[in-house]
């Protein structure tokens, strides 16, 4: 299973680019991009958009991986992680139904 960092690193390597070139093209510090690729830091939503556009990757794919990495890291050691995710999904559906009913 790939992390967001894996996806970003693979995309850069496929284009045979060095970090410096990517950093200049997307206006993100080279050291930050390196940390993204090593999963030491997460990009912002705006940075996700810029990286997706630059690499020609689906922004939806990167966003899904961004959120799923954050959630997985948060729940990694929780004993009830599956139950937490089930209830969270139910709450999301509830919130959406409330928004649609307004």
**Which CATH number characterizes residue 44's domain?**
1.10.260.40
Contacts of residue 9, Cβ cutoff 8 Å, sequence gap at least 6:
37
Counting the structural domains of the chain, the total is: 1
Give the percent of the chain with pLDDT over 90.
94
Number of residues that this document lists for the chain: 102
Residue 71 domain boundaries? 4-76
Tell me the average pLDDT across 76-97: 94
pLDDT computed for residue 41 by the predictor: 95
Instruction: Indicate whether 37 belongs to any domain.
Output: yes
pLDDT computed for residue 100 by the predictor: 80
Question: Would you state the structure tokens that stand for residue 14, as one six-digit string?
Answer: 């496929």
pLDDT computed for residue 74 by the predictor: 93
Instruction: Indicate whether 39 belongs to any domain.
Output: yes
Average pLDDT, the chain: 94
Instruction: Indicate whether 102 belongs to any domain.
Output: no
Q: What are the pLDDT digits (tens) for 3-31?
A: 999 999 999 999 999 999 999 999 999 99
> In the Cβ-directed half-sphere of 61, how many Cα atoms lie within 13 Å?
15
Answer yes or no: are the C-beta atoms of 12 and 37 closer than 8 Å: yes
Instruction: Indicate whether 99 belongs to any domain.
Output: no
């Amino acid at each position: 299973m790939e992390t967001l960092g894996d996806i970003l690193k693979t995309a850069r390597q496929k284009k045979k680019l060095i970090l410096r070139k990517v950093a200049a093209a997307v206006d993100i510090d080279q050291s930050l991009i390196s940390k993204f690729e090593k999963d030491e830091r997460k990009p912002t939503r705006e940075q996700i958009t810029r990286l997706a556009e630059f690499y020609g990757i689906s922004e939806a794919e990167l966003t899904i991986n961004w959120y799923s990495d954050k959630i997985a890291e948060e729940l990694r050691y929780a004993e009830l992680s599956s139950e937490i995710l089930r209830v969270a999904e139910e709450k999301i559906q509830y919130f959406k139904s409330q928004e649609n009913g307004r």
